[in-house]
Amino acid sequence: MSSSGGSLNAVLSQKTSFLGLRLWVVIGLSVGAFTISILLILSIWVASRKKSRRTLEKSPLSQIPSVSKEIKVDRCGSSHSGDEGSSGNGNLHKPASYEFVTASPLVGLPEFSQLGWGHWFTLRDLEYATYHFSKDNVLGEGGYGVVYKGKLINGTEVAVKKLLNNLGQAEKEFRVEVEAIGHVRHKNLVRLLGYCVEGIHRRMLVYEYVNNGNLEQWLHGAMHQHCSFTWEARMKVILGTAKALAYLHEAIEPKVVHRDIKSSNILIDDEFNAKVSDFGLAKLLGSGKSHITTRVMGTFGYVAPEYANTGLLNEKSDVYSFGVLLLEAVTGRDPVDYGRPANEVNLVEWLKVMVGSRRAEEVVDPKLDTKPTTRALKRALLIALRCVAPDSDKRPKMGQVVRMLDADNYPSRADRRNRRSHTTGSMESLDMESKAEASEGQGSGRFQS
């Protein structure tokens, strides 16, 4: 043992050709140089990370204004060129195809956190994007959570939804559900860009940012003061919403029932294209015809009567809510308004009475500078009345609604009679065709939420 130790010492004590230093000295210097190199590389990496974060933090808070200052109107809903006597939809006569979003706002983000459909964000990423979830960045609050405006490190503006009432959902279950939502792409759906999961109660979704307000703000808020919200613009938003719902109901499996279609959930871009939000938080359904849910969701005034009363949920519940939305766009009235006379509080019931008494032309929003043609108004009201039929089996599918909203593909009975007789019709045909819906609705009483 002592002989082997002595031989090792002899080897290490031998002089080398490197400056005549002994072998153990050379080994020690090599190990020291390697350690110093590793520490130097780590210090450079940490310094670069701190510098990039410091630059982001120094960005002035004024770059993200409050909600009222953020909304900009680049284009008003002006009339498009087209046949004045057709549908009032201008240049909207396009095939009801389900188009996918191709542009990626995630370019430039770290590759290690890229998903197949979006991006996995850390809590720190979103804190920096929203200036630590500043109150000045709040875009809105709803039943699902609080939405903040944010700006990613690559400059992309986003909407960060901080989910509430998550009830400690397992991380794996949450990821599976969000993965399914992330693969749903349509030009009239707000795109889900990614998500954040940290801990039991921190669940956040990151969406594309849509900067031209929502339908509620254009109909009832301050947005219409920027410029007139024309009939053509309203019908473009309505048609886009119908296409989005048709895609969710009929083009994907499992189909998605939104459950909370309302004007504040219909975002609008600069070209007055509808962007339906919150669809990702709806319950995913299988191939069955209906589903019983234990908790009634939705918003008062938009909820289908059978859903509110029994909890029976299927895509026809969304059809009813869409019908209310269409009536809201036509009349400029809230679905339920207790500031009006008792017989006008409920929008659906009031409209049925007005149509039944042949006063349909009086329901048009008085804020419209240019009233729609008789043909366009008739078509919109007929579609809406069919969507809000008390019997869910009598409501059309959203794919049928899309075709009905397209005037070229769906000429009404009155239009065909007018072409044969070469005479100009009035609202009389609407009164006749809607009499059944009006009488049925009056017999059922006001719908509940």
∠ Cα 78 80 82 (to 5°): 150
The phi, psi pair for 160, rounded to 5°, reads: -105, 120
Binding-site positions read 162
How far CA 16 is from CA of 27, 30, 336, in Å, comes to: 11, 14, 94
The phi, psi pair for 141, rounded to 5°, reads: -135, 145
Task: List residues with catalytic annotation.
Answer: 260
Q: What is the dihedral of CA 63, 66, 67, 70, to 10 degrees?
A: -30
Binding-site positions for ATP read 162
The phi, psi pair for 446, rounded to 5°, reads: -70, 140
Q: Quote the distance between the C-alpha of residue 141 and its chain's center.
A: 14
Q: What crossing angle do the helices spanning 315-331 and 374-387 adopt, rounded to 10°?
A: 150
Is there a contact between 243 and 96 (Cβ–Cβ < 8 Å)? yes
Instruction: Output the DSSP codes for 112-171.
Output: GGB-SSSEE--HHHHHHHTTTT-GGGEEEE-SSEEEEEEE-TTS-EEEEEEE---TT--H
